[in-house]
Structure 1
Amino acid sequence: MPAPMAEPLLSGRSLRLWAGALVVAALLILVEGNSGLDVWMADAMFDFHTHEFPWQHAWLTEHFGHGTLKVLLTGLGALPIAAVVWDALRRGRALTPWWRLRVRLLALCTALIPLVVSLLKRASHSHCPWDLERYGGYQPYYRLLEHIPRWVEAGHCLPGGHASSALWLVGLAVFWLPHDARKAATVAGWALLFGGLVGWMQQLRGAHFLSHTLWSMWIAAAMLLALLAAHRAWLRTAHAREAAALQRIAN
């Protein structure tokens, strides 16, 4: 049961505003994914003379971006999970309530954002650019909302999985909530941009389209908002139970 002064990290009005922004963002990504922008950008990254993506095996994009950076981010993401486990082993004596809530939310972002992206990717029929006939592969290209015939092999490439190794950083925003919502939004924005940059390096390699990265960014923002909404709902339920218990005692 929360303390009497416990408050949600995000107000109901802010939740509604950000939810509306996410709906608009989803519509814009749908438009982008069904326009020619994905292919136009992939064309710009592909060398039609050598029939390859010049950045596919470059040190920056493959060895650093796809290798070293991912390992570093995964290791960094293990820290909040380890902190939650340590606090549990210490029976709540390792962290103060203020830190415990926020570290738990960050740990959930660390675990859930890559997991959700991975599960959606496994269910996806969209192909990576380098698998397409246009770029030397063997599969036809279909836009996001186009019907894909059953005979076409599933591509499992949407959303962009690699970007999610960085997008959990969006959870850092909770450390500025509720006292400085503007700074929290700034932190979340920079985290999304960083995740987008990680995804961009894979686009240079021909591993993803722009829409794949944008959907990963959207999922990360939606997961953070869902966690904040869940915390708010939990507080309301707990406070209602506390009030009912006090009312029964008074009667």
Structure 2
Amino acid sequence: MRKIQVIGIGAGDPDQLTLQAVKALRRTDAFFVLDKGETKSDLTQLRRDMLDAHVPPGTYRVAEVSDPERDRKAGGAAYSPAVGDWRTARAALYARLIADELGEDETGAFLVWGDPALYDSTLGILEEVLAGGSVDFTYDVVPGISSVSALVARHRTGLNRVARPVQITTGRRLAEGLPEGVDDVVVMLDAHQAFTRYADQDIDIYWGAYIGTPDEILVAGPIAEAGPEIVRVRAEARERKGWIMDTYLLRRRPSDDA
């Protein structure tokens, strides 16, 4: 039976690999790497650097293929179908990789940024592959340090406050309004900087991009003050690198009469 490992490799810092992840890397015969093009080639190189640092040479092979394109312009009612089409294309690619690049008694691995359980599609796509029935395998998941954990660590703050809830959401959801009854909100996948809608409220923002890499950028403060700075440095960074991965924590300040 083929075996797949889904290994969380942290937010970008090679030192964030856990001991469990390193052991999993060393059990792997073939690593599956999705090439996202020249613009994001540094992400592929970071993966290769991790393998060079932690796995003896000559003990593994790398199968690298082009990642299917996703329609990132689709919005509104078209957003979910576009994501569904992209996931189906990825599932077909995963099935082919596992069937063609992995022997029946071998172990393959997907290296996932951050934690595979948090806003990542790999686990769902593997379930789709199994449901398709074209190739059979078992799989295990190795958790990783998420960008959320790395973000609050770099800002030297907590994710939640005492006896208070915290919610993780997306930029699309935040654009519809802040969650009811939650004063600490982590936002991911916000291409349109929805936090700018709340500059008139007493909310602090803890923002980070390329967390854990040499390109890391951190900005914090009241949205009214830090928001314009984030918009500026984010645009400059995206222009410079061609892509950006960022996340942030919004924290509503307690009212004076609380």
| Fold match by TM threshold 0.5 | no
